[in-house]
Chains A and B, each alone.
Chain A
Amino acid sequence: GESVGLHLPTLSVQEGDNSIINCAYSNSASDYFIWYKQESGKGPQFIIDIRSNMDKRQGQRVTVLLNKTVKHLSLQIAATQPGDSAVYFCAEIFGNEKLTFGTGTRLTIIP
């Protein structure tokens, strides 16, 4: 499944499939990006980050891709599990400025 971030706030994916959550960021000069996961009743949890001098970074079952040309960030989750159900936020930062968060995408895993 694939979302377009702020314009499609929900995404449903079959358990075991891969998920792609997209985010369009606003500042072309932003140099650091973070993906957060927020489960119901909890605060946002750091998942993975990437600096602007990279195009791709991999973690455990997650990959973040950065396309600076179109100011686009995506989070790929491999083999989604029920525990992946949450709201996912991207955040950007420029220099020493504060983090700017998106509104998030709610990911629902269908058993």
Chain B
Amino acid sequence: ETGVTQTPRHLVMGMTNKKSLKCEQHLGHNAMYWYKQSAKKPLELMFVYNFKEQTENNSVPSRFSPECPNSSHLFLHLHTLQPEDSALYLCASSQQAGGGTDTQYFGPGTRLTVL
């Protein structure tokens, strides 16, 4: 295991629902990331948190709202999503963001389906 856990592993939601994805890292890292992985596309970086501060929002729609209460936990709050938001959402952590050769370690992802 990578030391990064995500819950739930699978989520089906309607467009009017509100749900949250949770990520927890047990590696003592200071940076956490949200990625979106769609079929046949490269991983898309969504958000970066470094020492609990958001350092990057990669033009993500406001229906995705991240929260990082501490360096070990990261949430992604979802509301009024669209069917095209269906994807695998991956969380990752690293020692610190912008560390050059800093390797990111990924969780297993949440498979999200929006109906």
Q: Which residues of A contact B (CB under 8 A)?
A: 9, 31-32, 34, 36, 41-46, 49, 51, 89, 93, 95-104
Contact = CB atoms under 8 A, between A and B. Distances in A.
B56 A98 contact: yes
A35 B103 CA distance: 10
Contacts, number: 53
B34 interface: no
B76 interface: no
Given A101-B42, A102-B42, A103-B40, A96 B100 contact: yes
Interface in B73-115: 90, 92, 98-101, 103-109
A103 B40 CA distance: 6
Contacts of A42: 108-109
Contacts of A99: 45, 104
Interface of B: 2, 4, 6, 40-43, 45, 48, 56, 90, 92, 98-101, 103-109
A77 B99 CA distance: 28
Given A101-B43, A103-B42, A49 B101 contact: yes
Given A32-B101, A98-B48, A98-B56, A43 B42 contact: no
B104 A96 contact: no
A45 B42 contact: no
B43 A43 contact: no
Contacts of A93: 100-101
B90 A44 contact: yes
18 contacts: A31-B100, A31-B101, A36-B106, A41-B108, A42-B108, A42-B109, A43-B6, A43-B90, A43-B92, A43-B109, A44-B106, A46-B104, A49-B101, A96-B98, A96-B99, A98-B56, A100-B42, A102-B42
